[in-house]
Amino acid sequence: MLRAGTSNSSREIYPTKGTRDGTRSLARTFLIACHFPWRFAATIIFTICAGAMQLTVPPLLGRSIDVIQKISRGVLAANQGQEELAMLALLILAASCIRAFFSTLQSYYSEAVGHLVGYELRTRYYEKILTLSFSFHDRVHSGDLIASGILDIEGVRMFFGTVLVRFMTLLMLVGGGALLMLKSDFTLSVMALSFVPIVGWRTSIARLRLRTAWIELQRKLDRLSRTMEENLVGVRVVRAFRSHGLEIAKFNAMAKEAHKVALQRLKLRVGNAAGMTLCYYLAMGLVIYIGGAKVISGNITIGTLTSFLTYMTILQMPVRQIGLIANGVARASTCGSRLFALLDLDVAIKDAPDAKELNLTDGVLRFENVSFAYPGSEKRTVLNDVSFEARRGQTIGIVGPPGSGKSTIAHLIPRFYDVSGGRITIDGQDIRKATLQSLRRAVAVVQQDSFLFTTTIENNIAYGDPWAKESRIERASESAQLHNYVLGLPTGYDTVVGERGVSLSGGQRQRLSIARALMLKPAVMVFDDSTAAIDAATEQRIRGAMRRYATDRVTIIVAHRLSSLMHADQILFVEDGQIVERGTHEALLSLGGRYKALYDLQVRPGDEVLSA
């Protein structure tokens, strides 16, 4: 069994519904294409013009054959016949050139509309995943989102060019050809078009089968993308544990599964195309047989039969493309169902209809009987009846065992999640009734997992305020005890950090994150175990430098290391989602409870060993 890395079980990003939902997604794709009306109209017009020019060729060719027959029988003078043939040849050439011109314009504008649809969907998709709440990203793998953002959008984007335009061409040729043929001979027209209903029936069945195959293939490709993304991010872990062989074997096994499904889908498409082509040639055989009998009996001319056969030859390519159309419909409906399901997701954390800008006055943060359970696990309460108050200039320390709810408190303040009960206020204003932009401008969170962008140190620090002056960036860096290190780099603040900041140490990344938060000058500063990778001496210097920042704002420090919060005005000891002890460092030590036990364990571990 392959155990490392991504699980073999595949989770859906979002529900994929049935055929009706797929039909709705095709209709929505069509409506998006209508957002570009003049290009859309140009595609329709050029498709009609190209089809009309193509339909002029069969009668001209049939007439040419009749002229040649008249010349050979002496019914028409050679000179007169040659002039007429020359004129017909020029007309055929002109019709072919004009058709080629319109076909080129049709291809260009259909591709343009397809790419514009893709552009709009990519923009909407990216905006959506950036606005979806933390609870969504907690349960969805980023590899699945990347795969959907590439494969699903591409499948929907190609719908206009590979399905709609081809279908319109087929409809134009079949409809126009049918009208022209019916004027000449009803029986031959029925024979020539007899394959159309059979092809339509086969296409409907193929579409349902191909849709099922596409859904399964999409699941397999999601797993591949998820595995690749995890191994690229965790390549150092893979190398450190010499697990590249295992990961390659696992990826190869999943790639074989995807390849197997892809082959099944290919067999369905090719088999369907072969069946439709057989029907087409059977219809052509009937036209030749019955039409030949009519020519022999004198009911029609050879030129008329030639016109019918030319019509069918023109239909050959569109008919063969019916398989591609069915495949395109199946792919677009499947990809569209997934894509639009995500675009239609409700954003859990958003501005209330009556949301107002947060009005900061005294800078008082208050938790009032706050309870919380993560979405999807409402039966397991993470916080229960938590209440405390922090005023401007005060520092609140939060400590407790792992899983006690410390980080949850930090995440509730900027509304990464909404409380399940009670409320959180800043200056008496419920943060759920404030705009997210004003709230997150007032609350800055420095997390333990310090994510950095692949850009310069200066750009990473100034991420929250890209137009900040260099002096301000340097002051924030000095307060985070990072300035001297940056000055020692060959290119200083213009140094580009690697992907996710891998060129920096853990402590340097955390100091840069602290500097980035200080740039915002927030009313509430939250440190979620953000100094865990920083040595004690550097942490002491950071704390000393930040005292001037703490005088006019609330500071919340979540930490496992007690030395990080001994100086706090009030320390909250959280256990099982409740505040079980609170007070200053000295008061909690004198209480002799859980905080005292943790202090003895961290500060005087030798005593415990000796007493044991």
pLDDT at 533 over 80: no
- Tell me the C-alpha distance between 482 and 542, whole Å: 9
Whether 4 is in a domain gets the answer: no
Nearest to 328 by CA among 411, 210, 239: 210
Are residues 71 and 110 both part of a single domain? yes
Report pLDDT digits (tens) over 13-24. 554 455 556 788
Do 326 and 376 lie in one domain? The reply is no
551/389 Cα distance (integer angstroms): 16
First CA to last CA across the chain, in angstroms?
43
**How much is the average pLDDT of 115-129?**
92
Residue 221, C-beta contacts closer than 8 angstroms, at least 6 positions apart:
147, 151, 258
Whole-model pTM: value is 0.76
Residue ending a domain, among 289, 308, 343, is 343
Q: Which domain holds residue 550?
A: 365-611
Same-domain pairing of 396 and 531: yes
Pairwise pLDDT comparison (193 vs 33), residue with the higher score: 33
* CATH number of the domain residue 232 falls in: 1.20.1560.10
Give domain status of residue 207, yes or no: yes
User: What digits encode the pLDDT tens for the residues 24-56?
Assistant: 888 898 899 999 999 999 999 999 999 889 888
Q: Do 305 and 377 sit in the same domain of this protein?
A: no
Same domain, 310 and 374: no
One domain for residues 455 and 392: yes
Tell me which amino acid residue 515 is. Answer: A
pLDDT band at 143 (very low <50, low <70, confident <90, very high): confident
Q: How far is CA 279 from CA 174, 285, 364, in A?
A: 15, 10, 79
How many angstroms separate the CA atoms of 482 and 500, rounded?
18
**Highest mean pLDDT range out of 319-333, 410-424, 559-573?**
410-424
Q: What is the CATH classification number for the domain harbouring 379?
A: 3.40.50.300
pLDDT tens string 496-508? 886 666 667 777 8
> What pLDDT, on a 0 to 100 scale, did the predictor assign at position 501?
61
- 7 located within any domain: no
User: Is residue 1 in some structural domain?
Assistant: no
Q: How far apart are CA 245 and CA 464, in angstroms?
A: 42
Domain count, the chain: 2
